[in-house]
Chain A
Amino acid sequence: MRTLLIGGGHSAYFAANAIREIDPNGKLIIIEFTSERVDVLSKMFPFAELIQLEIDEVEEYIKGNGSILDAVITATESDSLNLRYCKVAKENAIPLTISVINNPLNTEILLNEGITYIINPYNLIPRELSEIFDAGTNVLYKFQGTEISMASIKISDEQFLLQLRREMAQSRDLSAIFVSKSGEITSSVEEVGLGGRAYIIGSEKTVEKVLRIARR
């Protein structure tokens, strides 16, 4: 795979290492704006091709190389640039356009521009806090490429437990694992009691339905 990574900052560091792991034989090209950073990055990522370009030149590069690129990942320190470059990548029909954004509040803006793969590194903050504080419900993960969702739910009343058992028996697109109050792990909904947590995974629609029941 030929992947173009734009940006040489904090997010790009993690993105470059991840791409190396995922696709060790692929070609990774990294674009950075300053020569100083290009020098440092070329030592840090000897497996990648480093290119220094001006801000406005990047779009031309994407256009010129669009036909041979399989993926563009924008991971600059500015969401304005991430948006600009993603739009050009989309216009040039690059199969995968991914943006690692800096501010989650820009998610909707990028989605409205047709950028489908948006990585929000700050997603973990509310999710981890919700788990630590034993929140009533917590959406743990929604994978952007499919319609699969994962959530954790505190089993705090009998009524919900009954409904959850019914839903587990009826739904073909829902699976779960349970952790009892004392920390025991089981896959049987019959063995779980009040005070425990259910970790459910399934189609987004069904997970949403269970979450709605839990929030009542």
Chain B
Amino acid sequence: MLKFTSGTAQLISCSPFYGDFLYTAFPNSIIMKISVIFPSKNREDYVKRAVKTAFKAECVMEVIIVDGGSQDRTIEIAKKHGAKVIVQSDLTYPGKGIAMRDGAYLSRGDILVYLDIDIKNITPEFIEKLAKPLINGEAEFVKGCFERSAGRVTELVAKPLLRMFYPELAKFKQPLSGEIAGLRKLFYKVDFERGWGVDVGLLIDFHNFRARIVEKDVGYKDHDMKPLHALTDMAYEVAGTILRRAVRDRKIDTQWAEKYLKEVRTLDLGIESGEGFA
């Protein structure tokens, strides 16, 4: 068991089985509990491993599967292995942000960790690495990054726009990464974009809350790449999200935002290959 000291309070890292016991046994201790959330749809081949692995990580009190209307056995398998399950409140595509919001709203942990469910080499360390800066009090929001170069939407859309309107966030290698962790209470104060813009939207909103944000390299991630049509949709939604926030934060007026957004439609994302990273 890992022990941390912060003032008079002890931070005790715990296994999922010891959480409630420790809280009773050590009433003066602050135990940071983690909820792991996997947005998912038709992922029966991945769900068992994801849920079991997540439960093995330190401090994990619950694993939540937010299902996007699976036609396969994803829900059944998730429940069988002890995950809490809820179906996305709105099945509109793309609904990643709705899934993330529903996961946050169902959760009970102090810390929320979001992961893609289709990570083939998922280990408990993925979760622990993302949660550690929060447990140690070094950050309120953690953005995961991986051992690979950033994708096309990141390099051609997100980073240029962030440099323009939120230069403090341009330092992030992978601002669109979906592997994130943060304090639950803060997730309740932000607006979740409904679709692909959710990750960059959260980054900007946490930054606006003056939350301490760190980027954490969590190693190599082996997962399926997105089909190209998803990248095109994603580029537009990411741009829209950044520009809407820039308008909201009075960094640009609506007319200019619309003009920029039109130009995103004309971007060449390299459509000759069939799939890619965001």
Instruction: Give A residues with C-beta under 8 Å from B.
Output: 54-56, 77-81, 83-84, 102-103, 105-106, 109
Contacts and interface: CB of A to CB of B under 8 A. Distances in A.
B102 A78 contact: yes
Given A78-B105, A80-B102, A56 B188 contact: yes
A57 to B, nearest CB: 10
Interface centre among B69, B89, B106, B185 (most CB of A within 10 A): B89
B228 interface: no
B105 to A, nearest CB: 4
A84 B188 CA distance: 15
Contact of B103 (A77, A80, A84): A80
A80 B69 CA distance: 15
Contact of B188 (A54, A77, A106): A54
12 contacts: A54-B188, A55-B105, A78-B105, A80-B89, A80-B103, A83-B106, A84-B105, A103-B88, A105-B69, A105-B87, A105-B91, A109-B87
B106 A102 contact: no
B101 interface: yes
Interface residues of B, number: 17
B57 interface: no
Contacts of A83: 86, 106
A80 B106 contact: yes
B105 A106 contact: no
Interface string B92-116: 0000000001111110000000000
Contacts of B87: 79, 103, 105-106, 109
A78 B85 contact: no
Given A103-B89, A109-B87, A80 B188 contact: no
B90 interface: yes
A78 B101 contact: yes
Contacts of B67: 105
Interface string B187-218: 01000000000000000000000000000000
Contacts of A56: 185, 188
Contacts of B103: 80
